[in-house]
């Protein structure tokens, strides 16, 4: 999809004239490792429970606006109260609500790129000033001192742990330092948290009133199509976000599917452990090709390949494998992001890259 027409550029709010519809850069391929979805077969118990739940949901009534049954299940899982949980139409909706409620003209978001570009996008949609604390160009790690310093002047700080697309997680102690220094809210985006051994920031909810933690069923739970994310935070923050949300943004089908998935979370979490091991196998394979592969706590790897843009195109056309091209993104020259797939998918991507970079397959 293209940007706005001349006519629309005249008609929309001036700040929005350069916005474009989101483009996931999707090309149909046999193997899709581009969007950090879980490509493994859904665990049988979880899958059956979700399908059974969906089959019996009445469709004629509006959903419970706040999805209280689901909130209770999520709260019990994470050892918090219902008032500390807000569910949304994917994590993306909750991110938007954060900027709607806590961003805006005259307010400042601090983030640490290269990271999830959605923060900057939503921030600027509502006129928020974005202050970027760049990561180290080689290690890709955030500069904690600079982040803490910038955080002192911010209304909202967004940290992603593990970070997309660099894969690193932030230690809980570092997040605690940030929370101590920041007068505003600190978002800890744990969309990939289940894949990490760094541990969640959730215990900090007990000691700090300025932390919100984002989780989603899109990644570890293999339910990206359902659109269900949830935010954990202080009750007054959840109330503020609830006040500005669309009442029925989460339909009866996502609510039912998510409730069944949360009840069968042990199946999903067992699979996550296997995907973590597969990640290390894929990483070893890519390192064996002589590529730069950053360590990852998530279900994807950031890889530096000479001629990445061309390599990505040839992976799609010659091998029908889709990965994400970040080579034009600031700070990510010659970088591709490859989702950890099934062992067969990962073998295929290693073989294809071996052919393209001219190395023997390890
Ligand atoms: C995928 C992702 C999300 C949320 O995705 P949803 O599908 O909208 O739940 C949030 N943050 C990061 C960093 C992500 O990669």
**Which is higher by pLDDT, 68 or 22?**
68
Q: Report how far residue 261's alpha carbon sits from residue 267's, in angstroms, rounded to the nearest whole number.
A: 9
Q: Residue 360: its pLDDT value, please?
A: 64
Length of the chain as a residue count: 362
Q: Report how far residue 359's alpha carbon sits from residue 261's, in angstroms, rounded to the nearest whole number.
A: 42
Per-residue pLDDT at 358 exceeds 80: no
Q: Report how far residue 167's alpha carbon sits from residue 299's, in angstroms, rounded to the nearest whole number.
A: 8
Q: Residue 248: its pLDDT value, please?
A: 97
DSSP type of residue 6 = H
Give 216's strand partners.
229
Mean pLDDT of all residues in 119-134: 96
Q: Do domains 24-42+267-357 and 56-264 have the same CATH topology?
A: no
- C-alpha 317 to ligand 1 mean position (Å): 28
- C-alpha 189 to ligand 1 mean position (Å): 8
Predicted TM-score of the model (pTM): 0.97
Q: What is the DSSP secondary-structure string of 65-127?
A: TT-HHHHHHHHHHHT--GGGEEEESHHHHHHHHHHHHH-STT-EEEE-SSS-THHHHHHHHTT
Short-list 347, 353, 361, 321, CA closest to 34: 321
Domain 24-42+267-357, classified CATH 3.90.1150.10, yes or no: yes
Q: How many CB atoms lie within 10 A of CB 294?
A: 18
HSE value, Cβ hemisphere, 13 Å, CA-based, for 136: 10
Q: Residue 106: its pLDDT value, please?
A: 97
Mutate to test the pocket of ligand 1, among 22, 114, 116, 231 (most ligand atoms within 8 A of CB): 116
Give the domain ranges of the chain: 24-42+267-357, 56-264
pLDDT band with cut points at 50, 70 and 90 for residue 118: very high
| pLDDT tens per residue, range 308-347 | 999 999 999 999 999 999 999 999 999 999 999 999 999 9
Domain 56-264's class?
alpha beta
Q: Residue 344: its pLDDT value, please?
A: 98
| pLDDT tens per residue, range 9-64 | 999 999 899 999 888 778 899 999 999 999 999 999 999 999 999 999 999 999 99
Q: Report how far residue 26's alpha carbon sits from residue 40's, in angstroms, rounded to the nearest whole number.
A: 19
- C-alpha 11 to ligand 1 mean position (Å): 31
Nearest atom in ligand 1 to 228's CA:
9
Mean pLDDT of all residues in 242-258: 97
Nearest atom in ligand 1 to 95's CA:
10
Contacts of 250 (CB under 8 A, 6+ apart): 63, 67, 87, 88, 89, 227, 228
Per-residue pLDDT at 2 exceeds 90: no
Q: Report how far residue 141's alpha carbon sits from residue 325's, in angstroms, rounded to the nearest whole number.
A: 20
Mutate to test the pocket of ligand 1, among 164, 216, 230, 249 (most ligand atoms within 8 A of CB): 216
pLDDT band with cut points at 50, 70 and 90 for residue 274: very high
pLDDT band with cut points at 50, 70 and 90 for residue 361: low
Per-residue pLDDT at 362 exceeds 60: no
Nearest CA to ligand 1 atom 5: 91
The answer to whether the beta carbons of residues 189 and 99 sit under 8 Å apart is no
State what percent of residues in the chain have pLDDT above 70: 99
Q: Which residues line ligand 1 (CB under 6 A)?
A: 90-92, 116, 160, 164, 189, 191, 216, 218-219, 224, 229
- Check the CA dihedral 309-315-316-322 and report its sign: negative
Compute φ and ψ for 185, nearest 5 degrees. Answer: -85, 145
Hunting for tokens 């949830």 — which residue is that?
230
| pLDDT tens per residue, range 163-199 | 999 999 999 999 999 999 999 999 999 999 999 999 9
Per-residue pLDDT at 216 exceeds 60: yes
Q: Report how far residue 230's alpha carbon sits from residue 82's, in angstroms, rounded to the nearest whole number.
A: 12
For the CA atoms of 146, 149, 150, 154, the dihedral, rounded to the nearest 10 degrees, stands at 150
- C-alpha 42 to ligand 1 mean position (Å): 19
Q: Report how far residue 354's alpha carbon sits from residue 186's, in angstroms, rounded to the nearest whole number.
A: 42
Q: Residue 15: its pLDDT value, please?
A: 87
């Amino acid at each position: 999809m293209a940007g706005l027409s001349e006519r629309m550029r005249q008609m929309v709010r001036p700040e929005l004239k350069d916005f474009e519809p989101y483009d996931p850069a999707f090309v149909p391929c046999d193997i899709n490792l581009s969007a950090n979805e879980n490509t493994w077969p859904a665990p049988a118990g979880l899958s059956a429970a979700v399908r059974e739940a969906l089959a019996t949901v009445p469709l004629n009534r509006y959903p419970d606006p706040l999805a209280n049954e689901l909130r209770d299940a999520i709260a019990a899982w994470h050892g918090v109260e219902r008032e500390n949980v807000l569910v949304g139409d994917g994590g993306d909706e909750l991110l938007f609500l954060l900027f709607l409620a806590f961003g805006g003209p005259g307010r400042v978001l601090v983030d640490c790129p290269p990271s999830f570009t959605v923060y900057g996008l939503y921030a600027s949609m509502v006129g928020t000033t974005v202050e970027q604390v760049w990561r180290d160009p080689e290690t890709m790690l955030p500069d904690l001192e600079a982040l803490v310093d910038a955080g002192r002047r911010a209304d909202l700080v967004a940290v992603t742990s593990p970070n997309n697309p660099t894969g690193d997680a932030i230690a809980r102690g570092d997040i605690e330092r940030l929370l101590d220094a920041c007068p505003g809210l600190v978002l800890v985006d744990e969309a990939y948290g289940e894949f990490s051994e760094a541990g969640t920031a959730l215990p900090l909810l007990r000691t700090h009133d300025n932390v919100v933690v984002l989780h989603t069923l899109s990644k570890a739970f293999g339910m990206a199509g359902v659109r269900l994310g949830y935010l954990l935070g202080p009750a007054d923050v959840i109330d503020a976000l609830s006040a500005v949300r669309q009442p029925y943004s989460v339909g009866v089908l996502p609510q039912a599917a998510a409730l069944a998935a949360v009840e069968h979370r042990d199946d999903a979490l067992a699979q996550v452990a296997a995907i973590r091991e597969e990640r290390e196998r894929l990483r070893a394979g890519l390192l064996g090709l002589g590529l730069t592969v950053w360590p990852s706590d998530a279900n994807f790897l950031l890889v530096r390949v000479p001629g990445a843009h061309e390599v990505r195109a040839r992976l799609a056309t010659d091998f029908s494998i889709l990965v994400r091209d970040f080579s034009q993104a600031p700070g990510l020259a010659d970088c591709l992001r490859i989702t950890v797939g099934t062992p067969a998918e990962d073998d295929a991507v290693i073989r294809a890259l071996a052919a393209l970079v001219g190395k023997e397959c390890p």
